[in-house]
């Protein structure tokens, strides 16, 4: 159950089906990211259908997913009050949510490194490469005589670091980055990776996939969550 104010309702899609809570973040706990809200509650709601509420036609269309920001939290709201607003949406029991259970979020700070899966990587790499290698200029990674993985120190470790759960930093994809090279969606609002093993499937996006929400950094500063990319992919 996600937080819903006394006078609020659980988000619904245009067909009147209630969405389900994927995650909610107490923003005051995220202390080391400059542009992240310093207070309030940030929620991520999705429809529990066969594609977890993602639209293949428009990954920014907040119909079957919703980003909700509560500037203030009313601590007099009770769990029973929220449960009373819950109603079946015709999908409960037929499909499951990617998160299998209820888990707490604990934040730690670290430095991140961009991996090749980021749509901005190739252009930036070529610029730095050309600045260092004056004899042979490249316009793409394919112009190199050897694979980037052989050229970049600790490349594989950087690639693996792109995965996992995170706010901010650089994303990972099992397929490809849906953003454009000059993307305005330059901030990773939330990344949730699949988490499983030893028969314990806590989170599963399709076939061991990964999910990311992206927003423009300036809109994040303005607490404007109307234009957000919601994307997940799997192997």
The per-residue pLDDT for range 32-50, each reduced to its tens digit, is 898 999 999 999 999 999 9
What confidence score (pLDDT) does residue 220 get?
98
**What is the per-residue pLDDT across 170-207, written as a single tens digit (0 to 9) for each?**
999 999 999 988 889 999 999 999 999 888 899 999 99
What confidence score (pLDDT) does residue 59 get?
96
What confidence score (pLDDT) does residue 95 get?
81
- Angle at the Cα of 115 (from 113 to 118), degrees rounded to 5? 115
Residue written as tokens 């330059």? 186
| pLDDT beyond 90 at 116 | no
Task: Give, in words, the CATH class of 20-112+162-233.
Answer: mainly beta
84-113: average pLDDT: 90
What confidence score (pLDDT) does residue 152 get?
58
**What is the per-residue pLDDT across 47-66, written as a single tens digit (0 to 9) for each?**
999 999 999 999 999 999 99
- Helix residue ranges per DSSP H, the chain: 79-85, 121-132, 148-151, 155-161, 217-221
| pLDDT beyond 60 at 134 | yes
What confidence score (pLDDT) does residue 150 get?
56
| pLDDT beyond 70 at 126 | yes
Percent of the chain with pLDDT strictly greater than 70: 94
What confidence score (pLDDT) does residue 147 get?
64
Residue written as tokens 């990587």? 121
How many angstroms separate the CA atoms of 28 and 36, rounded? 9
What confidence score (pLDDT) does residue 182 get?
84
- Helix residue ranges per DSSP H, 25-69: none
């Amino acid at each position: 159950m996600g937080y819903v104010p006394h006078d609020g309702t659980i988000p619904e899609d245009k067909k009147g089906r209630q969405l389900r809570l994927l995650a909610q973040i107490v923003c005051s706990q995220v202390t080391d990211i400059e542009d992240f809200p310093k207070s309030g509650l940030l929620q991520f709601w999705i429809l529990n259908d066969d594609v977890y509420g993602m639209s293949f036609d428009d990954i920014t269309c907040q119909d079957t997913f919703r980003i909700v920001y509560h500037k203030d939290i009313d601590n007099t709201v009770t769990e029973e009050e929220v449960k009373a607003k819950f109603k079946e949406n015709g999908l409960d029991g037929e499909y499951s949510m990617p998160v299998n259970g209820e888990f707490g979020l604990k934040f730690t700070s670290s430095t991140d490194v961009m991996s090749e899966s980021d749509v901005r990587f190739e252009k930036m790499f070529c610029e730095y490469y050309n600045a260092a290698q004056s004899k042979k200029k490249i316009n793409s990674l394919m112009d190199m005589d050897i694979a980037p993985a052989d050229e970049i120190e600790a490349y594989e470790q950087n690639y693996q670091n792109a995965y996992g759960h995170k706010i901010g930093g650089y994303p990972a994809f099992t397929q490809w980055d849906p953003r454009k090279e000059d993307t305005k969606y330059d901030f990773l609002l939330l990344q949730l990776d699949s988490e499983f093993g030893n028969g314990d499937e806590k989170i599963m996006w399709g076939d061991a996939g990964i999910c990311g929400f992206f927003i423009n950094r300036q809109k994040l500063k303005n607490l404007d969550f109307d234009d957000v990319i919601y994307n997940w992919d799997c192997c």
